[in-house]
């Protein structure tokens, strides 16, 4: 089955210009967060379409080969296959897929790979098995930015169920993180909290807005009124001047 999927992916190969655009967009240059990643220039809808067609027949061994590829699109398609399998799996199969996912965590090495799959596999698994949430705090302490981002994106599944404890704890922990991708992810998840419970987000902002990284604060405030945004950003600026 791997060879069939491989042919399908290569058949959608994009232009050289598209590959260059994706390489710039995902920061693959020397010293950048996606250094060394390689692109074929394939649109995400095509990858999802391939995964939807083959997830029932595809084995974990086939997916393993995809995740080991140097090509970004192979890894993303492999992860989409896992998401579709997980959605339709029973509890035991979900366990197997979750552990397969975290065993291959080194292949989940750009923000789109994390964002499009972690909530659906890691987050949903932890809804079923809450004792596994302790892994979030282990990943939060990792030197690997993608593991830290996984800890944040997994909470999206909790947030959708109005469960905010983990994201509020992690966002407080990440106040001192230096990576912009963590600031963005934390602010995004906080914004999702605010969509469902503005009071919970406002309470967090009252306590921490003055110490939040600017990007995290800006993302968290996206749904607030211009006046409210100005208030919190002014507090941030005053604290910076001190």
pLDDT, tens digit (0-9, with 9 covering 90-100), for 167-215: 999 999 999 999 999 999 999 999 999 999 999 999 999 999 999 999 9
CA distances from 151 to 46, 71, 158 (A): 28, 24, 12
Note the Cα 105 to chain centre separation in Å. Answer: 12
pLDDT digits 0-9 by tens, 26-72: 999 999 999 999 999 999 999 999 999 999 999 999 999 999 999 99
SS3 106: helix
**Whole-angstrom Cα distance, residue 112 to residue 96?**
23
Measured in degrees and rounded to the nearest 5, phi and psi for residue 128 equal: -75, -35
Q: Residues of the chain with pLDDT > 90: what percent?
A: 96
Q: What is the band of 22 on the pLDDT scale with cuts at 50, 70, 90?
A: very high
CA angle 26, 27, 32 (to 5 degrees): 145
DSSP 41-95: ---HHHHHHHHHHHTTT--HHHHHHHHT-SBHHHHHHHHHHHHHHHHT--HHHHH
Residue whose C-alpha is closest to residue 22's, from 40, 6, 36, 10:
40
Half-sphere exposure of 39 (CA within 13 A, CB side): 24
pTM: 0.95
Give the residue-averaged pLDDT of 232-236: 85
Q: Is 15 helix (H, G, I), strand (E, B) or coil?
A: coil
**Residues shown for the chain:** 242
Q: Which of 6, 8, 30, 28 is nearest to 19 (CA)?
A: 28
């Amino acid at each position: 089955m791997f060879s069939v999927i491989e042919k399908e992916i290569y058949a959608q190969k994009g232009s050289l210009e598209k590959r260059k655009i994706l390489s710039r967009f995902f920061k693959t240059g020397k010293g950048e967060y996606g250094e060394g990643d390689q692109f074929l220039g394939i649109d995400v809808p095509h990858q999802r379409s391939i995964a939807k067609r083959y997830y029932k027949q595809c084995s974990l061994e086939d997916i393993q080969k995809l995740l080991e590829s140097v090509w970004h699109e192979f890894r993303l398609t492999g992860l989409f296959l896992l998401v579709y399998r997980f959605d339709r799996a029973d509890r035991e199969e979900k366990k197997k897929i979750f552990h397969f996912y975290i065993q291959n965590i080194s292949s989940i090495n750009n923000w789109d790979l994390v964002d499009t799959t972690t909530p659906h596999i890691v987050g949903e698994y932890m809804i079923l098995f809450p004792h596994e949430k302790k892994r979030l705090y282990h990943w939060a302490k990792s030197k690997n930015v993608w593991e830290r981002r996984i800890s944040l994106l997994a909470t999206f599944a909790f947030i959708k169920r109005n469960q905010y404890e983990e994201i509020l704890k992690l966002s407080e922990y990440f106040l001192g993180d230096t990576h912009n991708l963590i600031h963005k992810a934390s602010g995004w998840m906080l914004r999702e909290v605010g969509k469902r419970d503005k009071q919970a987000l406002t309470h967090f902002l009252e306590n921490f807005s003055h110490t939040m990284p600017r990007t995290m604060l800006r993302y968290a405030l996206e749904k607030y009124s211009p006046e409210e945004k100005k208030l919190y950003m002014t507090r941030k600026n005053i604290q910076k001047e001190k």
